[in-house]
Structure 1
Amino acid sequence: MRIFRYKEQSHIHLGVWTDEGKAYRLDAPDFMTLVQEARAAGLQPAAHVAKLIEGGSPIERPVEELELLTPIVAPEVWAAGVTYMRSREARNYEATGGKPAPETFYDKVYDAERPELFLKSTAARTVGPGERVGLRGDSTWQVPEAELGLVLDSDGTIVGYTIGNDMSCRDIEGDNPLYLPQAKVWKRSCAIGPFIRLAETVTDPYALQISCRIYRDGEKLVDESANTAQLKRRYEELVSFLARDNELFAGTVLLTGTGLVPPNQFTLTPGDRIEIEIDSLGVLVNEAVGAHELAAMSVTGLN
C-alpha cells in the first residue's frame, strides 16, 4: 500500500494506491493522523487502511493524472552521509581532487561507531513530485543524490518508506567539510515522494533497488543503480543516533544516504530532468531550475 497526498479543486486529500492498482481517497487529514488512528484502534496502518476503503469506490482518475504533493509535510528532513562505499569514494574524490591520499575524515566516519547525520531540510524547503528543485548560484558541481527515506513517528518507529532527492554541491563540500550546510541546504534543495510505502508492507527494506536517471534535452546522460543491501548501517542504528538527546517530531523523514553518484565530470544544468526510482515505492521526478529563476520562486513545501 502506498499513501499519497493530492490536490483537487484547491482541496488537499490523502489517498492510498493499493497493490491491485486501485486508488482510494482516505478520510484522514494527513499521514501521521492515519498512523495514530491505526494505533488507537490496535491495528497496523495497513490493516486500518484496508478497513477504511472496504466497500468504497476507487478514485475515478488514474493516480498518474492527479496533482500529487509531498506525501507528508515533514517538519524536518534529516540525512545520513557516507553510509555506502560509493559515497565514501565520492567524498574522498571531492576532498582530494581525485589524488591518492592517506585516510581522510570520510574514511573515518564510514568506519566509526557514530554515523554522520545532518539537518537537510524543513517543510518550506522541501518539494514534491513534479516540482522543480533548485541549483545554487555559487556552485559549479551539483548533483542529485537518490536515497531511501524513513518516515518516523515521534518515538522513532519507522512507519513508512519514501524516496528522497538530497541535492548536493560537490565542489562546496569538497572545499571544506565545514561547508556541509551550504553544500546541502538551500531553497528547493530537497524533494520527497511521490508515495509513502507503509513499513509493514515492505518485505525486506535491505533489498530495494534504487535507480537514478538524468535527462537533458531528452537525452539520457546518467543511468546509475544501487541496492539497499549495500548500506553499511542499519536503519534502526541511524534512527537511534538521531534520537539521542533530540526530539523527533511525528512525520520526520530521515534520508539514509546514497549508494550511487553521477560520474565525476557530470553537473546538473537548468532544465535537467531527474528520475529517482525505488522498488515498490514509485518514481520521483523533478526538473532542475537555475539560480536566477530560483530566486524569483516562492517556497512550496507547506501545501
Structure 2
Amino acid sequence: MHLARFSLAAAAAPLVGLLEEEGRIVALGDAGDGLTLSALLHADDPADRVRRCARGESFRLDDVRLLPPVERQEVWAAGVTYKRSQVARMSESEAAADHYDRVYTADRPELFFKSTPERVVADGEPIRVRSDSRWTVPEPELTLLVAPDGRIVGYAVGDDVSARDIEGENPLYLPQAKTYDGSCALGSSVLLADGPLDLAATTITLTIERDGATAYEDSTDLSQMKRSLEELVGWLTKEYSIPDGAALMTGTGLVPPDQFTLEEGDAVTIAIAGVGTLRNPVVQG
C-alpha cells in the first residue's frame, strides 16, 4: 500500500492519497477532515484508517502535484551505519578518522538534524551543491516515517546530499556539510509498513547521469546495515519528543569514488525496491 501527499493546484490545500495502478491516486477524504499525514502517524492502525478512508475522488497523477511526505515532521538522519560509509568518512577526514571508526562500533549511533519540512526538496525538483564546496555527493537512504510513539509507520526514498570536503575538513562542520538549502530530498511515494522489511531483498540503487550518459551507478541492500531500523528510532526518541512524528534517514552504503563530485546539470536517481524512486536534477551554488 503506497501513499502520497499531493495538491490539485498551487494554492490548494494538500491531500493524502492512496496510489493506484494505471497512474491514479485516490484522495483519503476531503481537505480539512483530519486525514493528513500527521493524523495517520497518530492512528493506532494507519493501514486500517487508509482502507476506511479511501473514498475520495480519484485523480490522474498527471493532473496533480506530488509533494514530499512531510507536513510538520522534522527530518533527521543517521550516519556511519554501513561499513562502506565508515570507510568513506575515515578517508575524507584523516585527522578525525578515529572518530568515525569509533562511532561505527559504539552503542550510540551518529544522529543529526537534517531539515525542516518546508525545506525538503520534492521528486523532480533540484538539489544543490553549495557554492563553497568542491566535493559534494548524493547519499541514497531508506527513510523512515516515525509515529510520535516511535512506531515505524512507513518507508520513503531519501537523499542526504552532503558536502564531503566541508565535513572532512573538520567534523564540527557537519551541520554546514549536511544542512543547507537543497540538501534534503524525499520521494513522494510512501510504503505503508505492514511488517518488517526483508532487508536482504530491499536493494538501493544510485544512478548519476551526466551529459546523457551514466557517470556512476551502484547498488547495495539493507542487510549491509550494522544497526537495525528500530535501534536508530530508539536512539532518536530516547530523550527527544516528536509530537508530530518525524522522518529519519538511516544512512548510506553507496559512496561514489573520491574523485567524483556532483556538477550542474547532473541528474540523480535513487530507487529502493518496493518503496519508490526519487529523481532530482542538480544545480550549483
Question: TM over 0.5, yes or no?
Answer: yes
| Correspondence list, 1:149-188, <5 A | 149-188=143-182
Q: 2:133 is matched with which residue?
A: 139
Aligned residue number for residue 18 of structure 2: 16
Partner of 2:27: 25
Instruction: Determine helix, strand or coil for the equivalent of 1:129.
Output: coil
> How far apart, in 1, do the equivalents of 2:23 and 2:265 lie?
31
The answer (yes or no) to whether the contact 2:81–2:252 under 8 Å persists in 1 is: yes
Q: Secondary structure at the match of 2:188?
A: strand
Aligned partner (choices 272, 280, 285) of residue 286 of structure 1: 280
Alignment correspondent of 2:6: 6
Q: Quote the residue 1:48 is aligned against.
A: 49
Structure 1: gaps of 5 or more residues: 292-303
Q: Deviations over 1:33-56 (max 9, x none)?
A: 1343x42xxxx32222223236x6
- Is the CA contact 1:73–1:251 (under 8 Å) kept in the aligned structure 2? no
**Which of 208, 211, 226 is equivalent to 1:217?**
211
2:78 is aligned, of 61, 73, 80, to: 80
In the alignment, the residues of structure 1 paired with residue 120 and residue 280 of structure 2 have an alpha-carbon distance, to the nearest angstrom, of 12
Taking only aligned residues, the RMSD between alpha carbons, in angstroms, comes to 2.1
1:93 alignment partner AA: S
Residue aligned with 1:159, SS: strand
Q: 1:235 to 1:203 in 2, by over 3 A?
A: closer
Query: Counterpart of 2:221?
Result: 227
> 2:40 maps to which residue?
34
Using the size of structure 2 for normalisation, the TM-score is: 0.91
Q: TM-score, normalised by structure 1?
A: 0.86
Q: Give the percent of matched residue pairs that are identical in Structure 1 and Structure 2.
A: 45
Q: Match of 1:88, as an amino acid?
A: Q
* 2:83 aligned partner, one-letter code: M
For each residue in 1:131-177, what CA deviation from the matched residue of structure 2 results, as whole angstroms up to 9, or x when unmatched?
Answer: 11111011100000000011111111111111110000111111111
- Alpha carbons 1:214, 1:272 under 8 Å: kept: yes
Which amino acid in structure 1 is aligned with residue 17 of structure 2? G
| Number of equivalent positions | 279
Task: Name the CA shift for 1:124/1:72 in 2 (closer, same or farther; >3 Å).
Answer: closer
Residues 174-196 of structure 1 deviation map (CA, whole Å, 9 limit, x = unaligned)? 11111111110111210112211
CA contact (8 A) 2:9 2:65 kept: no
- Structure 2: runs of 5+ lacking an equivalent: none
Report the Cα offset of residue 23 of structure 1.
2.8
